[in-house]
Structure 1
């Protein structure tokens, strides 16, 4: 079980993590929460139903990592940047979906933090994290978001799958992020395999 998810009886998954892995994973999830930003709490006295139907932003985020997490629905990388109709459709779609998407991503990251905070590290410096079947989709979403964010910061592309990025010398300042990117990918892959078995 060390380093990868395995199924547990009754549904869900478990993974053995050492103290350093717990700390790194928690730190990354907290950074994701900071990147996504705080939730919109209804103002005191505001109609909760009106707050539920409030619209979000219509422009894509300026931060490339946020733009990757909250992409345009209609205007992709191959779309004509001057196509006003696609821009209008993307803007309208974003206004009505980004708020909920941010909330879901925030819930995913919070589920990771809460799960890690509930661990009791043993004498050997590790713990077995058990993720319930209900929390597995949150973990999967958070792991995916973390990989997308780190991949964007590293400027990973499809061309880099076997590229120089994965053979960086230890002295390269990007090396820790690359290692985290690869580790998160392994966790994500084993969680998917566990859920599909």
Structure 2
């Protein structure tokens, strides 16, 4: 995979993925969508009718899952009531936005030729994105990278630990995926800024 670059003759950004890379990225995005959509909000009993009509029924407590807690941090650390209200009014929309961004990655890969099930070796997928879609991909790659970092418990300055693991260690392999998503994110940012 060469990363993202700006197409010479158009304003689009392009990248070429192997079938395995495209399938891995689709799988990561699908897992993120599932995580975002499967933790149901706990409804309140004292919902105002206007609030019910406007659907301000979001959760009021920090998510239990560490990845979701990282993606949706508490807005007001020292004011529990304000944090709960902020979360109730915003988290539902934020979840939908993050899920839709991940779906944009899935759709883009499939529109570029990734079959529903990868069965052939040597498949190459050319993805071409306009700028708004590339920005959506960039946001979702950020979410994917945060999710992987949280699951792996990656910390600043711990590169020596990760590089000391044997290649066949599943943690090392997962960290390689984390670094690859970071590479995609970095090349996409660079391509977007090279106008």
Match of 1:143 among 141, 144, 154: 141
Correspondence for 1:54: 56
Counterpart in the other structure of 1:19: 19
Pair 1:154-2:147 in alignment: no
CA distance in 1, matches of 2:127, 2:53: 36
Deviating above 3 A after TM superposition, structure 1's stretches of 4 or more consecutive aligned residues are 49-53, 121-124
TM-score (normalised: structure 2): 0.83
Counterpart position of 1:180: 177
Root-mean-square deviation (CA), in Å?
2.3
Question: Alpha-carbon deviation of 1:165?
Answer: 1.7
Secondary structure of the equivalent of 1:163?
A: helix
- Unpaired segments ≥5 residues, structure 1: 41-46, 76-82
Q: In 1, distance between residues paired with 2:124 and 2:174? A: 22
Query: Once the 2 structures are TM-superposed, how far is the Cα of residue 39 of structure 1 from its aligned partner?
Result: 10
Note the residue ranges of structure 2 that are not aligned, 5 or more in a row.
41-48, 115-119
Measured in 1, the distance between the counterparts of 2:146 and 2:53 equals 30
Q: In the comparison of the two structures, how many residue pairs are matched?
A: 179
Paired residue for 1:80?
Answer: none
Matched, 1:99 2:60: no
Q: Distance in 2 between matches of 1:67 and 1:195?
A: 29
Pairing 1:111-122 to 2, within 5 Å after superposition: 111-120=104-113
**Cα distance in 1 between the residues matched to 2:88 and 2:146:** 22
Q: CA deviation at 1:52?
A: 4.3
8 Å CA contact 2:109–2:125 kept in 1: the answer is no
What's the counterpart of residue 69 of structure 1?
71
Report how far residue 89 of structure 1 moved.
1.8
Q: Using the alignment, how far apart are the partners of 1:51 and 1:167 within structure 2?
A: 55
Contact 1:166 1:178 in 2 (8 A): no
CA distance in 1 between partners of 2:122 and 2:150 (Å):
35
Moved more, 121-130 or 55-64: 121-130
Cα distance in 2 for partners of 1:123, 1:178 equals: 24
What is the alpha-carbon distance in structure 1 between the residues aligned to residue 175 and residue 155 of structure 2? 13
